């Protein structure tokens, strides 16, 4: 180690990076006292792109550099914190840190889910850990819960609301009647969204987090190309209002479910859940992860899933652990896959009830035509809903909602492709799963 304090090289001083600085300034002494002097950290280098930018925290100018590799190569740096995002420069930075045997702390779920196999292999080879508490569910200590607190449990089920931006947008659309673009702008202004919000709204940010949770829980690295993902970007106020009339709210949910045959079902998509379910009241930037372990039973982790200090709080918990690992090499503990036989459930085999909205030309036999196609593949209808506009009861085009009993996704997809060929169908059917949690 360089000197009595553990030196931190911080790559990125945006929303989260500047939060890390602020909390260390405020609570560095507290961390030191709590650890009985074992953890004393100091930021020694900060990499950013633009030295002229006004920052949300006052760090001395002489710490700043625009050369990312300075945060690895500076001899006073013992631990590298990657908070720049993306999967290219961040990959190179983390690889360089591991090769220099400097432990890494990151909140970069996209990088770990997409290129974790390479980085975790390098981490094992170099006997140097990657810590990533901030990568899933912001401030909620869910990674340590799975790795440490639940180590004695077979994890049977994880259901999570794990993207703060989507959850915030859905709530603002539901409760304030905002349109999608206005709600997204608010989430960006509040620092919840990624620099490029595409991954937040297309479901992939949540899916990356689910991939990390699933990999930790089940011991094999889940390949993102095998994961079914849908986002919130096409959700309309119409479906939110129909959901509400039927007793549901719309949430972006991620599932990691162990099936009886040992395969793992993993998917992320906007779903209907009963307004009475506890997850229905998880609002705004809050995340919740419900975990069922065979020993523990059900438990719920709840807290802020994004934003400056909640996320920095997780980064600092990793920093403390990384600092300890430097003093005691035996406590090194990142993630290593331990199963080679892990399998995923094909999405066509997954089963739930469904809400399907068809936009149709109001002509004779429409309901019969759709019902016949559904029945042909064995799908049962549990209800229908077709509101008539009182100002225009003879409208030529109408919205028709079908609620389906629990069924496999495969036959439903086949049936929907056939329904789309009907002359009376005027748009692609809108499909939501109805989850019984
Ligand atoms: P951000 O506000 O956009 O900050 C990114 C920082 O990285 C900026 O300071 C930027 O410099 C710097 N940077 C980017 N590319 C660089 C490069 N090539 N060389 C040097 N500096 C570079 O992002 P953020 O919201 O803090 O997120 C950072 C990471 O944390 C991401 O992986 C994100 O997914 C993750 N995360 C974020 C949250 C959240 O609530 N925001 C929560 C959990 C995890 P400039 O300032 O000069 O542009
Ligand atoms: N953009 C992410 C979210 C940040 O909204 O949840 C936390 O990972």
Cα–ligand 2 centroid distance for 4 (angstroms): 35
Which has more confidence, 331 or 175?
175
**Residue 2: pLDDT band with limits 50, 70, 90:** very low
Tokens (6 digits) for 47: 């990499």
**CATH number of the domain located at residue range(s) 6-138+308-327 in this protein:** 3.40.50.720
- Share the mean pLDDT of the chain: 94
**Distance of CA 188 to CAs 39, 194, 358, 381, Å?**
34, 8, 32, 40
The CATH class, in words, for 350-434 is alpha beta
Cα–ligand 2 centroid distance for 111 (angstroms): 14
- Alpha carbon of residue 261 to chain centroid: 26
CATH ID of 142-304, from 2.40.50.140, 3.40.50.2300, 3.40.50.300, 3.30.360.10: 3.30.360.10
Pocket flag, ligand 1, residue 17 (CB < 6 Å): yes
Cα–ligand 1 centroid distance for 320 (angstroms): 21
pLDDT of residue 407: 97
SS3 per-residue string spanning 299-326? EEEEEECCCHHHHHHHHHHHHHHHHHHH
* Each residue's pLDDT tens digit, 252-287: 999 999 999 999 999 999 999 999 999 999 999 999
Active site residues: 209
**Residue 1: pLDDT band with limits 50, 70, 90:** very low
pLDDT of residue 252: 98
Percent of residues, the chain, with pLDDT higher than 90: 87
pLDDT of residue 331: 61
Which has more confidence, 105 or 325?
105
> Helix, strand or coil for residue 213?
helix
Please report which ligand is nearest the Cα atom of 50. 1
| Distance between first and last Cα of the chain | 49
The H-assigned helical ranges of 197-305 are 198-201, 204-218, 237-245
Kindly report the protein residue whose alpha carbon is nearest to atom 38 of ligand 1: 306
**Residue 386: pLDDT band with limits 50, 70, 90:** confident
Pocket flag, ligand 2, residue 205 (CB < 6 Å): yes
Cα–ligand 2 centroid distance for 387 (angstroms): 36
- Whether 3 has a pLDDT exceeding 60, the answer reads no
* Each residue's pLDDT tens digit, 11-35: 999 999 999 999 999 999 999 999 8
Pocket test for ligand 1, best of 21, 48, 66, 303 (most atoms within 8 A of CB): 48
Mean pLDDT is highest, among 125-129, 177-181, 199-203, for 199-203
- Whether 230 has a pLDDT exceeding 90, the answer reads yes
* Each residue's pLDDT tens digit, 296-307: 999 999 999 999
Q: How many CA atoms lie within 13 A of 293 on its CB side?
A: 16
- Whether 333 has a pLDDT exceeding 70, the answer reads no
**Domain ranges, ordered by start, for the chain:** 6-138+308-327, 142-304, 350-434
Asked whether 67 and 352 are in contact (CB, 8 A), the reply is no
- Whether 222 has a pLDDT exceeding 90, the answer reads yes
Tokens 């950290």 sit at which residue?
Answer: 41
- Of 257, 264, 284, 317, the C-alpha closest to 133 is 317
User: Which of 130-134, 292-296, 340-344 is predicted with the least confidence, judged by mean pLDDT?
Assistant: 340-344
DSSP 46-71: EE-S-TTS--SS---GGGEES-TTHH
Q: What's the whole-model pTM score? A: 0.94
């Amino acid at each position: 180690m360089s000197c009595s304090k553990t030196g931190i090289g911080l790559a990125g001083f945006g929303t989260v990076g500047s939060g890390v600085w602020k909390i260390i300034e405020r609570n560095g002494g507290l961390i030191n006292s709590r650890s009985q002097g074992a953890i004393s950290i100091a930021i020694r280098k900060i990499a950013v792109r633009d030295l002229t930018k006004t920052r949300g925290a006052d760090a001395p100018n002489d710490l700043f550099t625009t050369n990312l590799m300075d945060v690895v190569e500076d001899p006073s740096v013992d631990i590298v914190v990657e908070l720049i995002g993306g999967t290219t420069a961040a990959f190179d930075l983390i690889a360089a840190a591991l090769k220099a045997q400097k432990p890494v702390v990151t909140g970069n779920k996209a990088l770990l889910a997409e290129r974790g196999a390479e980085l975790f292999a390098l981490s094992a080879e170099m006997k140097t850990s990657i810590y990533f508490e901030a990568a899933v569910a912001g401030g909620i200590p869910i990674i340590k819960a799975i790795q440490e607190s639940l180590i004695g449990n077979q994890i049977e089920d994880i259901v999570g609301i794990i993207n703060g931006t989507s959850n915030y947008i859905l709530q603002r659309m539901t409760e304030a009647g905002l349109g999608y673009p206005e709600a997204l702008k608010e989430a960006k202004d509040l620092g919840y969204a990624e620099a490029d919000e595409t991954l937040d709204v297309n479901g992939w940010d949540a899916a990356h987090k689910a991939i990390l949770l699933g990999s930790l829980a089940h011991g094999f690295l889940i390949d993102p190309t095998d994961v079914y993902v849908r986002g919130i970007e096409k959700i309309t106020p119409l479906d939110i209002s129909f959901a509400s009339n039927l007793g549901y709210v719309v949430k972006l949910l991620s599932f990691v479910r162990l099936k009886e045959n040992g395969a793992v079902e993993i998917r992320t998509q906007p779903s209907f859940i009963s307004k009475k379910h506890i997850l229905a009241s998880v609002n705004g930037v809050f995340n919740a992860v419900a975990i069922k372990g065979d020993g523990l039973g059900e438990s719920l982790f709840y807290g802020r899933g994004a934003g400056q200090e909640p996320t920095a709080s997780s980064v600092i918990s990793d920093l403390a652990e990384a600092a300890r690992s430097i003093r005691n090499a035996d406590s090194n503990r990142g993630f290593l896959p331990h199963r080679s036989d892990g399998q995923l459930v094909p999405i066509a085999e997954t089963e739930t009830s469904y809400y399907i909205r068809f936009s149709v030309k109001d002509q004779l036999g429409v309901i019969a035509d759709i019902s016949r196609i559904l029945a042909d593949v064995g799908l049962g209808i549990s209800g229908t809903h077709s509101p008539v506009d009182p100002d225009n009861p003879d409208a030529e085009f109408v919205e028709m909602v079908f609620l389906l009993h629990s069924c496999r996704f495969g036959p439903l997809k086949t049936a929907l492709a056939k329904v789309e060929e009907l002359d009376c169908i005027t748009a692609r059917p809108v499909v939501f799963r109805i989850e019984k949690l």
